[in-house]
Chain A
Amino acid sequence: MSALGARRRERRGSRPLPSPSLTVAAVLVAAAVSLPLVYLVVRAASGGEAAWSVLLRPQTAEVLGRTIGLVAVVTVAATAIGGSLAWLMERSDLPLRRFWAVAAALPLAVPSYVAALALLATAGPGGALSEALPGEGRLLDITGFPGAALALTLSTYPYVYLLGAAALRRADPALEEAARGLGRSPFAVLREVTLPLVRPALGAGALLAALYALSDFGVVSLMRLDVLTRVIFQQYRTLFDRTPAAVLGLLLVVLTVVVLILEARARGRAAPRAAPTAARPVPPVALGRWRAAAVAFCALVVGLALVLPVGVLTYWIARGGSAGAGLGAGILAPALGSLGVSTVAGVAAVLAALPVALLVVRTPRPWTRALERLSYGANALPGVVVALALVFFAARYLGALYQTLALLMFAYVVRFLPQALAGARTALAGVNPRLEEAARALGRGPRSAFAAVTVPLAAPGLLAGATIVFLSTMKELPVTLLLRPIGFETLATEVWSATSVSAYSRAAPAALLLVAVAAPIVLRLVVRRDGARAEAEALGAG
């Protein structure tokens, strides 16, 4: 007993003390990441009665109700679609399963506001259908709640699908076979055995969908749906007193926390996750007469989420081209802007994540874990809130930095640090600390040992983290809109501003370019199946 205790101590103690410079760097990073929330609270608290009265307005209750309704509809729809697709791909004899499996995940490459643009360019005011059907077409308008819910569902079901499919692959098929052996029908097995096994994964996917819907700004603003994010943005843009926006921002944060708590409680009651077993092919369930319906379902989802955006955008590009609008020149500046800020943000986020990841991996203590959790905390903050808080902070204390690229980069790093941190932590944890000690014993100093051993071994993970941040920055909208220097355009802002005025042929090239950049990255993540869970979670913060 005491020997065992001593041994455990010995192991824990054999880790080096946290290095002071690393600690300082990690504390600075964690402080920077927590800055938006802290300052938002400070700002709202100093607002006085007038600012807080915004909560009592009847319009606010309406907005709150609309927000909750949207989140609920999107979460339920995304979970139903994603869960069904996961089961079809992993457990049924659906024809062309391998094709559908990739096609169903690929919409991850379509930013949600591009999905909204595609719906509007098809069935919105001035869209393709209203032009094709001059009479009834005018009545056809997807703007508002239906359009927003549809666009967000199409953008979020892949998270549920990927997590659900990964859980199904992990679930021990012997359990389902045992249930069949005990006389259950395939449907009863699904309901009584399979579903409970993958419930935690579906719950995690549903959480990502809910958080996405809650924090989304692009879709609701293009669909002109007054939910919290859009109202906050408008309050900030149009009113002289900006403090009510901060109060509403806090309300959004509270809503986010409520969602997180609900998910944690649901998970607390769920069965523990089945232990991973050796992969064994499961005999697929025969769909029988449902085959055609299943294929039609897959085709409908993939058609709306992937084929429609690409098709409609191509149509508008062709139209714009025939109308003689200058295409190539208009898109070059935003494309370069996107590429530049995304690359720098990816590298900067990984560099910022390194001290925190190193500290928690090398010296796991309660306080280093707390620093790490603090750094992850920003993940739950909606982009509009991050942007708003930084605008307030910069306008008051960093006047010189306001509307500079430096502040924009800082905001990206704050927003996407968790994604880089997840990659850096996994990569560094995979490097045996004995290797660096071996290098020290062979005469290398601490820095040289780190550079010669740890960096090359962790490089793939760090690069993956940088890639995900790159992708997220590329798609980012609210922070870019509020913090960019005047005249600075990215592909995202280009899509947003052109779509806002129904200039679809101007929005289409930028939107299609965004999809084209993201598609190969998403494809690689999806094809590398075992990593699907981590990647989907990392991507989920978009």
Chain B
Amino acid sequence: MSGSAPAIPPDMAVETRGLVKAFGALPAVCEVDLAVARGELLTVLGPSGCGKTTLLRLIAGFERPGHGEVRLGDRIVAGDGVWVAPEQRRIGMVFQDYALFPHLSVERNVAFGLPRRERGRGGRGAARARTALELVGLQHKAERLPHELSGGERQRAALARALAPGPELVLLDEPFSSLDASLRADLRREVELILRDAEATAILVTHDQEEALSLGDRVAVMREGRIVQLGPPEEVYARPADRWIAGFLGEVNLLSGMCRRGGAVETWLGVFDSPGTGTGRVQLAVRPEQLDLRTDRAVNAEVVEREFRGHDVLYRLRHEVGGSLLVQLPSLELHKVGARVHVRPAAAAVASVVD
């Protein structure tokens, strides 16, 4: 993602440049540059209070930026003295608590955003609302009131309402956070399919790592108002830009080591491939699954804790030199607590320098 390219690629659905928003003295969004291509699903991941919801609200037009601009397609909607009201931006929004109109039926909720002349009974709007309801599989609940729906159905109704007017961009603010864990995974897949079906461009905000990594074409990691890393999920996960991101995205071992020529770092645990690194003493972020245990080599560690998680197992080891280590292995072969093992970098482990 070359953010320094001067010309905007014509297929960008939304772009922000140097976006800044502060509440009082407290900055919520700092210098955010973001570009989302048409049809792309971008997830914004960050802890609560990192400014990700404010970023969405800036794009939707519910907040005015202090500096910077927001473009939708080739149109500036905020910044540079321009201000386009939210209702003129053609953005669909799915709110965290869904914000379904409690006094309107599901169908009338979905038809709410359609042009006035289409909304009447039997008009074209009714057909469009039906289509949107079918898209989310709620056609049989059209006459219900929102409070008569289950949590998952409300979620889908909110999505149908956002999609019905055919928006250029769909924004989803923590759309799964008020659902049961058991429902969440199913709905996540379903929502992704619906969005892809509708060929919608979407930005989804979440604090759930798994959600962000599994849904996004790209993931933007946000911290204290800034986007600290942006890239495909596998890249963000495998090569976190810094120690904080590494820890935020999952369990991580931090190892100090010395850079050697040819993109490798030598640590007390062994040599890791680490392309394009600096020089001198560095910190390496090594994921638990990037380590391997053997029992047929010289012992260098002891299992002190074991967390069985079904499909895999997480071990905590005490290494004879370096202290504590986390190792994740498939649950095919189990090591007991107290077992003495040999730990070493896994065969294809590419670790990343974080400091």
Contacts and interface: CB of A to CB of B under 8 A. Distances in A.
Interface of A: 3-7, 9-10, 12-14, 16, 432, 434-435, 437-446, 449, 452-453, 456-457
Given A9-B23, A442-B165, 13 more contacts: A6-B26, A6-B224, A7-B48, A10-B23, A10-B49, A14-B54, A432-B99, A438-B101, A441-B60, A442-B113, A449-B87, A457-B101, A457-B102
Interface in B59-94: 60-63, 85-93
B53 A438 contact: no
B278 interface: no
B103 interface: yes
Given A13-B23, A441-B87, A7 B49 contact: yes
A3 B28 CA distance: 10
A443 B87 contact: yes
A4 B87 contact: no
B249 to A, nearest CB: 18
A444 B87 contact: yes
B99 A12 contact: no
Contacts of A438: 93, 95, 99-101, 161
28 contacts: A3-B47, A3-B49, A4-B49, A6-B49, A9-B24, A10-B23, A10-B53, A10-B54, A13-B28, A14-B53, A14-B62, A434-B97, A435-B101, A437-B86, A437-B99, A441-B91, A441-B92, A441-B93, A442-B87, A442-B112, A442-B161, A442-B162, A442-B165, A443-B90, A443-B165, A453-B101, A457-B101, A457-B102
A434 B87 contact: no
A7 B51 CA distance: 8
A431 to B, nearest CB: 9
Given A440-B85, A441-B92, A432 B97 contact: yes
Contacts of A3: 47-50
A373 to B, nearest CB: 24
Contacts of A9: 23-24, 26, 28
A10 B224 CA distance: 12
> How would you classify the secondary structure of chain B's contact residues: helix, strand, loop or mixed?
loop
B57 interface: yes
B23 A12 contact: yes
Contacts of A453: 101
B47 to A, nearest CB: 7
Most chain B beta-carbon neighbours within 10 Å: one of A440, A445, A452 = A440
Contact of A456 (B50, B93, B103): B103
Given A9-B24, A9-B26, A440 B86 contact: yes
Nearest to A444: B87
Nearest to B91: A441
Contacts of B101: 435, 438-439, 453, 457
A441 B86 contact: yes
Contact of A445 (B24, B53, B85, B102): B85
B199 to A, nearest CB: 19
Interface of B: 23-24, 26, 28, 47-51, 53-54, 57, 60-63, 85-93, 95, 97, 99-103, 112-113, 115, 161-162, 165, 224
A460 to B, nearest CB: 11
Contacts of B63: 13-14
Contacts of B24: 9, 13
Nearest to A449: B87
A5 B99 contact: no
A510 B103 CA distance: 41
Contacts of B102: 435, 457
Contacts of B50: 3
Contacts of B115: 443
Nearest to A445: B87
A451 to B, nearest CB: 13
Nearest to B86: A440
A457 B162 CA distance: 21
Contacts of B95: 434, 437-438
User: Which has the most chain B C-beta neighbours within 10 Å: A3, A7, A434, A443?
Assistant: A443
B344 to A, nearest CB: 38
A6 B99 contact: no
Nearest to A17: B64
The winner among B47, B99, B113 for most chain A CB atoms within 10 A is: B99
Nearest to A13: B23
Contacts of B28: 6, 9-10, 13
Contacts of B99: 432, 434-435, 437-438
Nearest to B164: A442
A36 to B, nearest CB: 37
B162 to A, nearest CB: 8
B277 to A, nearest CB: 31
Nearest to A442: B113
A437 B47 CA distance: 24
Interface centre among A3, A10, A437, A452 (most CB of B within 10 A): A10
A291 B60 CA distance: 67
A446 B85 CA distance: 9
Given A10-B51, A442-B113, A443-B87, A437 B62 contact: yes
Contacts of B23: 9-10, 12-13
Nearest to B223: A3
A6 B102 CA distance: 31
A136 to B, nearest CB: 65
Contacts of B91: 441
A17 to B, nearest CB: 8
A7 B113 CA distance: 31
A16 B93 CA distance: 17
Contacts of A449: 87
Interchain residue pairs A-B with the least CB separation, the first 9: A442-B113, A13-B23, A7-B49, A434-B99, A438-B99, A441-B93, A440-B86, A9-B26, A6-B49
A452 B111 CA distance: 13
A9 to B, nearest CB: 5
Contacts of A16: 62
A452 B115 CA distance: 14
Contacts of B93: 437-438, 441
A3 B112 CA distance: 37
A333 B224 CA distance: 70
Contacts of A4: 49
A97 B24 CA distance: 57
A362 to B, nearest CB: 13
B67 to A, nearest CB: 16
A7 B53 CA distance: 10
Contacts of A432: 97, 99
A434 B146 CA distance: 15
